[in-house]
Chains A and B, each alone.
Chain A
């Protein structure tokens, strides 16, 4: 028998769970091997240390205590359920409030900002309201051939808006981004 074999069978040997033949073989090895003998002694001391842990007298607990624990558990469960329901209601109320706020924000009129944009000898006056870009007036200049001025009458423009007529000139937001990228814009005023 090798030391490694004995080490693997140490617990069954200490606990008397080995069959007789194997047990005798282990004891013969231990008699001749000091290392395994000291290992066995160390384990026996360790076992004794754990066995010697003093037995404590438990705190008095009668069966009525157990019943009260049971009741407490039921009360705790009921309380947890009530708390969970309350939280759910609170979440629903908060969600509704949040939706209301979002709706109110949407209905608020958005501020409009006007810009002067110059591009290839031509200048444009545009107004940006949220994501919507409107062309208010423009001045085209053909190389050396003078310029064309166009402007939209604001009063007329407002009237059109009131009548829900969609005759305004629009530049899509991509065009506006391109304009902003290529040339600096001058912010005129906040309406």
Chain B
């Protein structure tokens, strides 16, 4: 199979899943579409180096997640700088009545998590990967994945408490 044919197959198989994965990392649809395009361009460029050495799914998720985390860090850094300049503080948590009601509560919790914790929860709860697969994507050992996921869930719980989500459940 030629490189282009291989890419077409990967694209058809993974496009929907990668778009939804990116959407969980970046809730803005337009931004998610741009990032998905960038990810597939990266996949196309690095297809030669892949050479079927690893599980194609894990390899693609690894490219996607690293790109999403990089983008989030860049955006967060720029946003924090701007917020500090404009508000002179790190910002207050939003009250329940101020929440954007058309957004899903799960998306809202994910959006408030740190980039790595968000990625871990998406890999586990959206893609349903096991700890070994998550470890190879995130560059962690199986034991570290357990520890990090516990931290991620703890952070998510605190956010849910702040948002008053447990009162509504």
Question: Which positions in A face B, CB cutoff 8 Å?
Answer: 7-12, 14-15, 17, 42-43, 45-47, 49-59, 61, 63, 65-66, 69-70, 73
CB of B38 to closest CB in A, whole Å:
8
Decide: B15 and A58 in contact? CB cutoff 8 A. yes
Question: Which positions in B face A, CB cutoff 8 Å?
Answer: 7-8, 11, 15-16, 19-20, 23-24, 29, 33, 36-37, 40-41, 44, 104-107, 109-110, 121, 124-126, 130-131, 142, 146-147, 149-150, 152-153, 156-157, 160, 165-166, 169
Decide: B106 and A49 in contact? CB cutoff 8 A. yes
Decide: B130 and A46 in contact? CB cutoff 8 A. no
Chain B hits for A66, CB < 8 A: 37, 40-41, 44
Chain B hits for A65, CB < 8 A: 37
A-B contact number at CB 8 A: 95
Chain A hits for B165, CB < 8 A: 49
CB of A58 to closest CB in B, whole Å:
4
Chain A hits for B146, CB < 8 A: 9, 11-12, 15, 17
A47 CA to B19 CA, complexed, in Å:
21
Closest chain A residue, CB of each to CB of B45? A70
Decide: B44 and A58 in contact? CB cutoff 8 A. no
A8 CA to B153 CA, complexed, in Å:
11
A50 CA to B36 CA, complexed, in Å:
21
- 30 pairs of residues in contact across A and B, judged by CB atoms under 8 Å: A8-B147, A8-B150, A10-B150, A10-B153, A12-B131, A15-B130, A15-B131, A15-B146, A15-B149, A43-B157, A46-B160, A47-B125, A50-B109, A50-B110, A50-B121, A51-B106, A52-B104, A53-B104, A53-B126, A55-B16, A56-B29, A57-B16, A58-B19, A58-B36, A59-B29, A59-B33, A61-B33, A63-B8, A63-B11, A66-B44
A5 CA to B105 CA, complexed, in Å:
29
Chain B hits for A73, CB < 8 A: 41
A70 CA to B44 CA, complexed, in Å:
11
A73 CA to B44 CA, complexed, in Å:
15
Decide: A17 and B131 in contact? CB cutoff 8 A. yes
Decide: A46 and B157 in contact? CB cutoff 8 A. yes
Identify 15 new A-B residue pairs, CB closer than 8 A, beyond the known A42-B157, A56-B20: A11-B150, A15-B131, A15-B149, A42-B166, A47-B125, A47-B153, A49-B105, A49-B106, A50-B109, A53-B110, A56-B23, A61-B15, A66-B37, A69-B37, A73-B41
A43 CA to B151 CA, complexed, in Å:
12
A63 CA to B7 CA, complexed, in Å:
10
Chain A hits for B40, CB < 8 A: 66
Chain A hits for B37, CB < 8 A: 61, 65-66, 69
Chain A hits for B19, CB < 8 A: 56, 58
Chain B hits for A58, CB < 8 A: 15-16, 19-20, 33, 36
A14 CA to B124 CA, complexed, in Å:
11
Closest chain B residue, CB of each to CB of A12? B146
Chain A hits for B33, CB < 8 A: 58-59, 61
